Amino acid sequence: MTDTPSTCPYCGVGCGVIIESEGAQITGVRGDPAHPANFGRLCSKGATLHLTATAAITQHARLLQPMHRPLRGGPLQPAVWDNALDAIADQLTATVQTHGPDAVGFYVSGQLLTEDYYVFNKLAKGLLGTNNIDTNSRLCMSSAVAGYKATLGADAPPACYDDLNHAHTVFIAGANPAWAHPVLFRRLEDARRANPAQKLIVVDPRRTETAQLADLHLQILPGSDVALCHGLLHLMLWEGWTDTAFMAAHTSGFEALKARVRDFTPKDTARLTGLKEADLLQAARWFANVDGSSGASGARLPTLSLYCQGLNQSSSGTAKNAALINLHLATGQIGKPGAGPLSLTGQPNAMGGREVGGLANLLSAHRDLANPAHRAEVARLWGLDLQARDVPSQPGKTAVEMFQAAADGEIKALWIACTNPAQSLPDQAMVRRALERAELVIVQEAYSTTATARFADWLLPATSWGEKDGTVTNSERRISRVRAAVAGPGQTRHDWAIATDLARRLEARLRPGAATLFPYDSAESVWLEHRETTRGRDLDITGMSYPMLDAGPQQWPLPEGQTGGRARLYADGRFETDDGRARFLDTPFVPLAEPRDARYPFSLTTGRLRDQWHGMSRTGNLGRLWGHQPEPSVDLHPQEMTRLGLKDGDLVQLSSRRGLLVLPAASSDAVALTQAHVAMHWGDEVLQGLDAQGQSSGGINRLTSPVFCPISKQPELKHTAVKLQKAELPWQLLAAAWLCEGEALALRSQLQAVMGQFGYACCVPFGHEQHGVLLRAAAADAPPPERVARIEALFGLGPERTDALRYDDRRRHRSRAMGLVRDGDDARLQAFVLAGDIRAEAWVKALLMQRLPAQAYGRLLLMPDAQAPLALVPRGRQVCTCFNTSAPMIEQALAGTAGTEADRLAALQGKLQCGTQCGSCLPELKRLVKTCVVAG
Ligand code: SF4
């Protein structure tokens, strides 16, 4: 077995992993104890990475060779790399020569490595001469970039993870790290254990797992964050808790902000945010942390802020970021251990993309496109000056603008790399118009199963985690090496190499005879050029090298001559502005762009699940990662469920101004009244349905709004005004089967064609060790019998399965098919299809999923009105992914344990082991310990 140190490809915590491999196969993964982000820990997603790289997944879900679709809507045909790149280069050249370079758009990804990003950025801005390159990081952190630059003068997170150990108050706003950044949350738990006096404030419209552990949960109205921050500043001023000496020495622009926050009295702030005045005062006191105000004595104690999409994904995202940073500047809570505003990046390398300037308005090494001197510097560094050329000055189209321009016919060619815009961008109707209207769509991907792949004219197979070589930067400015444990499968190639090969072909067509701008022969050769662009900049990494990073990750800046990176920025009070002073940003509170109203009375919020990652092209293949949330749902407050006449599982139609979506309702007291919550992950890879116009659902982003922050251009994915009504889809179908891994993957792919024929359909994997597939569908009217027969056949219950038990009532459009397999002296249910009547769902599902002896149930399996057998109790929701422990198992174990909460948790873990491996379920276990009573 070979060990290869690398980095987790999921969230921005950037955990170090050790990949275990044998020959060409990745066989295991464990946390890297030497990596300073995680010290050996991994969450449920990171700990299962090796299971996403099995031979079966490679065969059924990976893109293994270039593919061409000669006719739109037609089948794909295999292609040869050289021919594919030549044909694409020809088409791109023709597009540029006919319509100009701005007719081409590149949409790339925060999951690319820094080296990949660098080549794409240079290809677009340096070679083609268009700034139309943007990234899914626009959906993730462009408001954080704009907020930092507007206040601190540079896009540089000033704090680090270790600050959790020094902070006296941790202020988490618009983030749910318990689920979205779990290993960082483990570090917060450690810090709180070591310092029980540490205060935790959580600002979130939902009572998330993170909020449930807070000392103070500020359950604000969606979109009211700026009002909250202004209100807190008002209170700090009134109480004398600001740091006037720090402001006088190190900041500018406070007077205008001071005048603005005068109007944000506690009473008005409470009205705007939906919070209590007393809670506002408490939050202001704990944030300011002046002598005595936090209950501690001595000098001002440090406050650390962590924030993410709740502030960023907003039509006033920059204002929200700046308003929070204003609080740090007003209280001097920056540049010292335990203090500072630390934005959490959602993606593994959103930071690396920022460093190379891989956004439509940025240039390499934090340079600005709008600055002629910066453009000239980059032109020189890239060698453009030798060809008497400059970088174009016109800002490129940002993510939503780029797809809108393609939908309008302005952009003719789209090159999409390592991202799935047909799932993740808002306003999917517009995005799909863009993908259909563009004359050339190139999708460079590791997976063949994404929604976007269906729109591609060309599919170019890319390497993925475990196969790539390069670097990524995490949320605390720490650059880590990514290394290949195995070679990429099939004909996959590295992203930087694909971009380089295409760039050279474009050079030959557009600038014949000129020396190449892309002389790279390895990831390191790309990185060395990138490194040189940082010389003298705030993120100077000229003191780093691949060998140094191989020995251990480093934080930037690390200029030449220094031996280690800088943990914290601005310790000397000098900021990256012209006068060295941080700037207060006087920003108005602007209400939501699309507020709730009488027609759309609910505010729909979106967020991440604990065990899934983004569009789920990787995590979505593992049944065990579906145990915690087995199927999609819309979460509603229990009172709203009652008011709408809904019970758990009822199908609900959600409509926004842009489209509709059907989902099962789930009661949740984490969601406030007049709000609804849906996970961000559901695309039409798992969820489909037809609306009144016969359009397939397009997932959650069929509903969301393309409106964006005017400064950061980050769209408002966190709020959509919607209406809800019970969906009238009385005919229902439920099918499930155990299969081998390859068969399960193939079945899910085949079911894609069927799902869109129903008013609602979802298809998900299940199973911890084995591989199951579940299909749920519903329709207004019974479908033709052939459709049900088709589903039975796909689940292996077609006519050729002569031993299947069957019931068929054509008149009432009901049928059942049950496939049992012998298991010693008994039999087990291997597959079933319940059509037209799924009242037996609970016990039939339990029989199959728990692999219980089924022989005794005989014909009961076919009786529509059979009562649920007492012995068949559903297992319940999985809480611990590592040890496959369900909520009822935990509740039963806790009923027999007494003592303090810590004692009960320890006893529970001793008994069931839950929460003893990755720890992602610990917040939920602690909550269950609190709520489960000890049996009499
Ligand atoms: Fe990966 Fe989890 Fe670490 Fe994020 S917290 S980097 S998903 S292991």
Mean pLDDT of each 10-residue bin along the chain, 936 residues long: 97 97 97 98 97 96 98 95 98 98 96 97 96 94 96 97 98 97 97 96 97 97 97 97 96 98 98 98 96 57 97 96 98 97 93 92 93 95 90 95 98 97 95 97 96 97 98 98 98 98 97 95 98 96 98 97 96 96 97 94 96 94 95 97 96 94 96 97 88 71 95 96 95 98 97 92 96 97 96 97 93 95 92 95 93 87 78 85 93 90 92 92 92 79
Query: Distance (Å, rounded) from C-alpha 228 to C-alpha 230?
Result: 5
Q: Are 496 and 503 in contact (CB under 8 A)?
A: no
Any atom of ligand 1 within 6 Å of the Cβ of 199: no
Comparing C-alpha atoms, which of 782, 766, 793 is closest to residue 877?
766
pLDDT computed for residue 693 by the predictor: 63
Ligand 1 centroid to residue 11 C-alpha, Å: 5
| Cβ-based neighbours of 290, under 8 Å, separated by 6 or more | 241, 300, 331
Q: Are 215 and 200 in contact (CB under 8 A)?
A: yes
Query: Distance (Å, rounded) from C-alpha 923 to C-alpha 931?
Result: 13
Comparing C-alpha atoms, which of 557, 301, 151, 793 is closest to residue 143?
151
- Integer CA distances (angstroms), 787 to 85, 692, 733, 781, 887, in order: 41, 20, 11, 13, 36
Beta pairing, strands 805-809 & 814-823: antiparallel
pLDDT computed for residue 694 by the predictor: 64
Which helix (DSSP H) or strand (DSSP E) does residue 68 occupy? strand 67-68
- Write the DSSP symbol of residue 125: I
Ligand 1 centroid to residue 35 C-alpha, Å: 12
Ligand 1 centroid to residue 613 C-alpha, Å: 10
pLDDT computed for residue 347 by the predictor: 87
Which helix (DSSP H) or strand (DSSP E) does residue 231 occupy? helix 225-239
3-state DSSP assignment of residue 192: helix
> Which contacts qualify for 850-859: CB closer than 8 Å, 24 or more apart?
850/875, 851/738, 852/828, 853/823, 853/826, 853/827, 853/828, 854/820, 854/826, 854/827, 854/828, 854/829, 855/820, 855/825, 855/826, 855/827, 859/805
Smallest CA separation from ligand 1 atom 3, residue: 15
> Which contacts qualify for 273-276: CB closer than 8 Å, 24 or more apart?
273/218, 273/220, 273/221, 273/224, 273/227, 273/228, 273/231, 274/219, 274/220, 274/221, 274/224, 275/218, 275/219, 275/220, 275/228
Predicted TM-score (pTM) of this structure: 0.95
Ligand 1 centroid to residue 176 C-alpha, Å: 14
| Cβ-based neighbours of 870, under 8 Å, separated by 6 or more | none
Smallest CA separation from ligand 1 atom 2, residue: 43
Comparing C-alpha atoms, which of 316, 324, 317, 313 is closest to residue 346?
313
Nearest ligand 1 atom to the CA of 31 is 8
Comparing C-alpha atoms, which of 295, 280, 90, 113 is closest to residue 203?
280
State the burial class of residue 619 (Cβ atoms within 10 Å of its Cβ: 0-12, 13-18, 19+). buried
- Angle among Cα 119, 313, 220 to the nearest 5 degrees reads 155
The alpha carbons of the chain give a radius of gyration, in whole angstroms, of 28
Comparing C-alpha atoms, which of 809, 799, 808, 797 is closest to residue 773?
797
Which of 7, 10, 161, 619 maximizes ligand 1 atoms within 8 Å of its Cβ, making it the mutation to test the pocket? 10
Query: Distance (Å, rounded) from C-alpha 676 to C-alpha 285?
Result: 32
Which of 7, 13, 612 maximizes ligand 1 atoms within 8 Å of its Cβ, making it the mutation to test the pocket? 13
Any atom of ligand 1 within 6 Å of the Cβ of 15: yes
pLDDT computed for residue 874 by the predictor: 81
Exposure string over 30-55, b if 16+ CB within 10 A, otherwise e: ebbeebbbbbebbbbbbbbbbbbbbe
pLDDT computed for residue 654 by the predictor: 94
pLDDT computed for residue 696 by the predictor: 64
Beta bridge partners of 819: 831
Any atom of ligand 1 within 6 Å of the Cβ of 42: yes
- Write the DSSP symbol of residue 64: -
Ligand 1 centroid to residue 32 C-alpha, Å: 12
Ligand 1 centroid to residue 347 C-alpha, Å: 10
Any atom of ligand 1 within 6 Å of the Cβ of 625: no
CA atoms within 13 A on the CB side of 251: 29
Any atom of ligand 1 within 6 Å of the Cβ of 37: no
pLDDT computed for residue 295 by the predictor: 45
Q: Are 450 and 420 in contact (CB under 8 A)?
A: yes
Comparing C-alpha atoms, which of 603, 676, 713 is closest to residue 144?
713
For 230, the token pair is: 């202004």
Any atom of ligand 1 within 6 Å of the Cβ of 154: no
